[in-house]
Amino acid sequence: MQDDLPIHGETRVTTEARNDDFVVFDHVQKSYDGVSLVVKDLNLNIGKGEFLTMLGPSGSGKTTCLMMLAGFETATHGEIRLDGRNINLVPPHKRGIGMVFQNYALFPHMTVGENLAFPLEVRGMGKDEREAKIRRALDMVQMGAFANRRPAQLSGGQQQRIALARALVFDPALVLMDEPLGALDKQLREHMQFEIKHLHESLGITVVYVTHDQGEALTMSDRVAVFNDGKIQQLGPPSDLYERPDNSFVAQFIGENNKLPGTIEELSGDKALVRLGTGELIDATPVNVTAKGQKTLVSIRPERVEFKPEMMPAGAHMIDATVLEVIYMGDILRVRLRVAGSDDFVMKMRNTLGQTKLSPGQQIKVGWHPADARALDPM
Amino acid sequence: MTDAYSQLTTADGRPLKAALAAAQARARRRAFLLVAPLLLFVVVTFILPIGQMLQRSVYHDGFSNSAPALGEWFSSHPDGSDFDESAYAALASDLALMKKDKTAGEAGTRINYTVPGTRSLFTSSARGADKLEPPYKEALLALDAKWGEPVIWQAMREASSPWTSDFYLIATDRQRTADGGIERVPENERIYLWLFGKTFILSGVITFLCLILAFPIAHLLATLPMSKSNLLMILVLLPFWTSLLVRTTSWIVLLQGQGVVNNILVSLGVIGDDGRITMIYNQTGTIIVMTHILLPFMVLPLYSVMRTIKPSYARAARSLGATSWTTFRRIYLPQTLPGIGAGALLTFILAVGYYITPALVGGADGQLISNLIQFHMSKSNWSLAAALSAMLLAGVLVLYWLYDRLVGIDKLKLG
């Protein structure tokens, strides 16, 4: 049932080369009440060894997708395939998928060692082999000395490590993680992100990770699927999502973002001229706008906003802005501006030696490289 | 280190410990005053009666009060002494005293407990006691030859002190022999130990049935969405709001020979009209009705424990490769143990002491020990009733102790 995985110097014996459809969601739909769809026609291929994150607000259908993959929910329509095999009717315990739960779900009446032994015992593994595997899994998460503790005696971070070790101890090829770091404090969370990432790399396992924390998604994943309203809004590497969002939802959900509503004035190839509600003209890259006169929402990242004309490309438009507030944040300065009648336009300036000092009330001009402003669908 | 702490003082030089105690004394006094009424109530209505009951089981002054001369004779003549003229003289003077004080019946009753059929010996002998002439031995033996029986003298010796273990002997089917030893009563007279055993076994059966029936319901209650589980909970609690008598008599209506269940079975042709099943006024009736009545006491502790078991445990177990049966056996069931323990303990203790239901539907073979306790109370044999109750209490305490050893009282969850 298990694939042989390269753990601690073992040679990997795979019968097939890395394939790109290790996990396949094929036109999957899910409805709980027969009236509305929680997951609407999901198509997703996950490659072997990939770290894929399902990101989205609560109620977006991401957890439902994970539960369908784990076997705790059945797909209303469509097919889920694991390693080429349709697993729609395979019960959860025969799927051989490791899973890490949000609240860890460590069995409270068992010690750490017994928790880890559980998946091996139900597979009928002998005692010696079991203990070797438990030791290895505990060492992997640096919890070797805790085998005899009860989960209640461990801190949140330690429980998280044990949950991770338990999901990995039976060498599953696929591990699902359902917001595993949600209950940890910020510092520990960031630390665990790296550890999970390293485990993923060193074990060569496939990870499907569910979170609503976009920072977590960006730092850990090979690819991120942004969910909203039961659909994947965009699927791609973190840099694509951040720098080239496909639609307003993705632009807004990931990272900080300035939005300027307007109308397409000119459209030529990869350039668009947008007239804002207050009459100014700005440059943008058309993404999902197709015709002149169309309504659009232009999205610009705060760190890509410039206020020094010498930094702007030739011929680029600049518009008037009033400084409302300068917030000192250490590494950056966050400047809130009034631009085109809106009070929440944000510009981030690096806090470098000799950086121009701005003060509230000051009149400046701001602009950006046309490639950094994306003309998206109006929301 | 502790020395260093004990030398700490407040800013004005008082020892820190004394200052702390003084600062908290007022709050502590107020807290005590708040619980004082309840404490008083519990002492008056619970601790005192139980103490009284325990005392009655080893104390009966019905004979010792009315027979001072014999008491004196017994204390100056150790066990095994010959019952000579002086003993009979003491007996004669006591009988005369009994006649004067009209206490012969009371004294006879006390001796009657240990040697049945002797109450009339005292009442009839006391009637002419003031006319007895020495030698008293011949006179009394002439009055009734039973006065020569060593068993009666042994019983009087035992009863001459108000403190006695006689009632525990009776409650454990034992009696005193003529020479002061202890033996079991003849086989056909042994009832108490057998009834204790039956009570415990029946309670065990009822507890087990309750557990089997309550477990799925409690699980359903714990996993259904709140709106549905509330309705179900009301159905579970409904019996609590109905009079016990009403519930019990409803079962009589259902289960009796011409009752609903038998009628349905007959009309369906499952049984013939002459083959109606006896389901009430026997042990079966006791088991059925008590299981029904005690069911909520099993459901509630189970429910309160199951509600805290997150569904992710079962999911985790399934994802780790366990079948649903293994998941239940190794993950779910162990986590419900505190609830099973609490429910079983509660149900069992209630069943062991249950009285009304077996009295109403138990018939002859469905009676439990509490019915016998009630019987002795109605016959004013308070001491024997107290001894039986004390044994019941001891049995329950042993169970409690066992539970503590096996599961731990701190894990007990009653809801």
CB contact under 8 A, A101 and B316: yes
Note whether A18 contacts B: Cβ–Cβ < 8 A. no
CB contact under 8 A, A93 and B310: no
**Minimal CA separation from B225 to chain A, in Å:** 14
Give residue-wise pLDDT tens across range A79-91. Answer: 999 998 999 999 9
Is there a single domain that holds both residue A214 and residue A81? yes
Q: Which of A311, A300, A286 is nearest to A344 (CA)?
A: A300
Are A337 and A286 a contacting pair, CB within 8 Å?
Answer: no
Q: What is the pLDDT of residue A279?
A: 83
Residue carrying structure tokens 């998280």: A160
- In a domain? residue A125: no
Across the interface, of A103, A123, A176, the residue whose CB is closest to B321 is A123
Instruction: Give the number of domains in chain A.
Output: 2
Give residue-wise pLDDT tens across range A273-321. Answer: 888 888 888 888 888 888 888 889 899 999 999 888 887 777 778 888 9
Q: What is the pLDDT of residue B197?
A: 93
Give the number of beta-carbon pairs within 8 Å between A and B. Answer: 68
Q: Which of A345, A271, A341, A349 is nearest to A303 (CA)?
A: A349
Asked if pLDDT for residue B208 goes beyond 60, the answer is yes
CB contact under 8 A, B312 and A103: yes
Q: What is the pLDDT of residue B219?
A: 94
Residue carrying structure tokens 């709106």: B227
- With contacts defined as CB-CB under 8 Å, which chain A residues touch B319? 70-71, 92-93, 95, 97-99, 167, 176
CB contact under 8 A, A103 and B310: yes
- In a domain? residue A126: no
Question: Which CATH number fits the domain that encloses residue A345?
Answer: 2.40.50.100
**Alpha-carbon distances of B80 from B77, B153, B179, B242, B369, rounded to whole Å:** 8, 11, 7, 61, 37
Q: Which of A151, A61, A48, A63 is nearest to A101 (CA)?
A: A63
> What tokens does B313 get?
């445990």
The answer to ipTM > 0.90 is no
**Minimal CA separation from B341 to chain A, in Å:** 15
Across the interface, of A70, A105, A119, the residue whose CB is closest to B321 is A119
Give residue-wise pLDDT tens across range B331-390. Answer: 999 999 889 988 999 999 999 989 888 998 888 888 889 999 999 999 888 999 999 999
CB contact under 8 A, A98 and B323: no
CB contact under 8 A, A105 and B322: no
Q: Which of A63, A122, A174 to mutate to test the interface with B (most CBs of B within 10 A)?
A: A122
| Phi, then psi, of A228 in degrees rounded to 5 | -155, 140
Q: Which of A201, A207, A181, A205 is nearest to A192 (CA)?
A: A181
- In a domain? residue A46: yes
Are B313 and B332 a contacting pair, CB within 8 Å?
Answer: yes
Asked if pLDDT for residue A349 goes beyond 70, the answer is yes
CB contact under 8 A, B330 and A93: no
- In a domain? residue A162: no
Asked if pLDDT for residue A14 goes beyond 60, the answer is no
Count Cβ atoms within 10 A of the Cβ of residue A365 and give its class: 0-12 exposed, 13-18 middle, 19 or more buried: middle
- With contacts defined as CB-CB under 8 Å, which chain A residues touch B326? 122
Q: Which of B126, B121, B61 is nearest to B94 (CA)?
A: B126
Q: Which of B121, B137, B150 is nearest to B63 (CA)?
A: B121
**Minimal CA separation from A100 to chain B, in Å:** 8
**Minimal CA separation from A230 to chain B, in Å:** 23
Across the interface, of B315, B326, B335, the residue whose CB is closest to A122 is B326
| Phi, then psi, of B362 in degrees rounded to 5 | -80, -20
Residue carrying structure tokens 């989205």: A56
Asked if pLDDT for residue A1 goes beyond 50, the answer is no
Residues of B with CB under 8 A from a CB of A: 310, 312-313, 315-324, 326-327, 330-331, 334-335
- With contacts defined as CB-CB under 8 Å, which chain B residues touch A122? 320-323, 326
Q: What is the pLDDT of residue B351?
A: 94
Residue carrying structure tokens 């273990």: B165
Is there a single domain that holds both residue A272 and residue A193? no
CB contact under 8 A, B319 and A103: no
Question: Which CATH number fits the domain that encloses residue A215?
Answer: 3.40.50.300
Q: Which of B133, B134, B124 is nearest to B99 (CA)?
A: B124
Using CA coordinates, name the residue in chain B closest to A170. B320
Q: How confident is the model at residue A11 (pLDDT cuts 50, 70, 90)?
A: very low
Note whether A101 contacts B: Cβ–Cβ < 8 A. yes
- With contacts defined as CB-CB under 8 Å, which chain A residues touch B315? 70, 72, 92, 99, 101, 105
B77 conformational bin, left if phi > 0, alpha if psi -120 to 50, beta if neither: beta
CB contact under 8 A, A105 and B315: yes
Note whether A102 contacts B: Cβ–Cβ < 8 A. yes
Q: Which of A90, A95, A107 to mutate to test the interface with B (most CBs of B within 10 A)?
A: A107
- In a domain? residue A16: no
- Cα distance between residue B385 and residue B126, in whole Å: 28
CATH classification code of B192-411? 1.10.3720.10
**Minimal CA separation from A30 to chain B, in Å:** 19
Across the interface, of A92, A102, A123, the residue whose CB is closest to B319 is A92
Give residue-wise pLDDT tens across range A133-166. Answer: 999 999 988 888 999 999 999 998 899 999 999 9
User: Using CB atoms and an 8 Å cut-off, which of residues 47-76 of chain A contact chain B?
Assistant: 70-72
Across the interface, of B312, B317, B335, the residue whose CB is closest to A109 is B335
Is there a single domain that holds both residue A210 and residue A266? no
- Contacts of B376-382 spanning 24+ positions with Cβ under 8 A: B381/B113, B382/B56
Residue range A121-134: average pLDDT? Answer: 93
Measured in whole angstroms, the distance separating CA A307 from the mean position of its chain's CA atoms is 32
Question: Could you tell me the residue range of the domain that residue A216 belongs to?
Answer: 23-96+172-243
Domain boundaries, chain B: 2-56, 68-189, 192-411
Note whether A245 contacts B: Cβ–Cβ < 8 A. no
Is there a single domain that holds both residue A274 and residue A237? no
Is there a single domain that holds both residue A360 and residue A237? no
> What tokens does A326 get?
């300068």
Using CA coordinates, name the residue in chain A closest to B311. A105
- Cis preceding-peptide flag for B134 (omega within 30 of 0): no
Measured in whole angstroms, the distance separating CA A279 from the mean position of its chain's CA atoms is 37
Note whether A98 contacts B: Cβ–Cβ < 8 A. yes
Q: How confident is the model at residue A48 (pLDDT cuts 50, 70, 90)?
A: very high
CB contact under 8 A, A72 and B316: no
Note whether A240 contacts B: Cβ–Cβ < 8 A. no
Asked if pLDDT for residue A245 goes beyond 80, the answer is yes
Give residue-wise pLDDT tens across range A90-107. Answer: 999 999 999 999 888 999
Q: What is the pLDDT of residue B415?
A: 55
Asked if pLDDT for residue B391 goes beyond 90, the answer is yes
Residue range A70-77: average pLDDT? Answer: 93
Using CA coordinates, name the residue in chain A closest to B335. A109
Is there a single domain that holds both residue A291 and residue A372? yes
CB contact under 8 A, B317 and A103: no
Note whether A130 contacts B: Cβ–Cβ < 8 A. no
Is there a single domain that holds both residue A234 and residue A302? no
Is there a single domain that holds both residue A266 and residue A225? no
- Cα distance between residue B379 and residue B395, in whole Å: 24
Asked if pLDDT for residue A27 goes beyond 90, the answer is yes
Count Cβ atoms within 10 A of the Cβ of residue A2 and give its class: 0-12 exposed, 13-18 middle, 19 or more buried: exposed
The residue type found at B46 is F
Last residue of a domain, one of A243, A273, A288: A243
Asked if pLDDT for residue B112 goes beyond 80, the answer is yes
CB contact under 8 A, A101 and B315: yes
Q: What is the pLDDT of residue A265?
A: 86
Note whether A111 contacts B: Cβ–Cβ < 8 A. no
**Minimal CA separation from A88 to chain B, in Å:** 15
Are A82 and A89 a contacting pair, CB within 8 Å?
Answer: no
Is there a single domain that holds both residue A268 and residue A354? yes
Q: What is the pLDDT of residue B5?
A: 53
Residue B70 CB neighbours (<10 A): 24
Q: How confident is the model at residue B414 (pLDDT cuts 50, 70, 90)?
A: low
Q: Which of A196, A216, A204, A205 is nearest to A140 (CA)?
A: A196
Q: Which of B319, B330, B411 to mutate to test the interface with A (most CBs of A within 10 A)?
A: B319
- In a domain? residue A30: yes
- CA atoms within a 13 Å half-sphere pointing along the CA-CB vector of B276: 17
- With contacts defined as CB-CB under 8 Å, which chain A residues touch B321? 93-94, 96, 119, 122-123, 170
CB contact under 8 A, A97 and B323: no
Residue range A165-185: average pLDDT? Answer: 91
Using DSSP's 3-state secondary structure scheme, residue A173 falls into coil
**Minimal CA separation from B343 to chain A, in Å:** 20
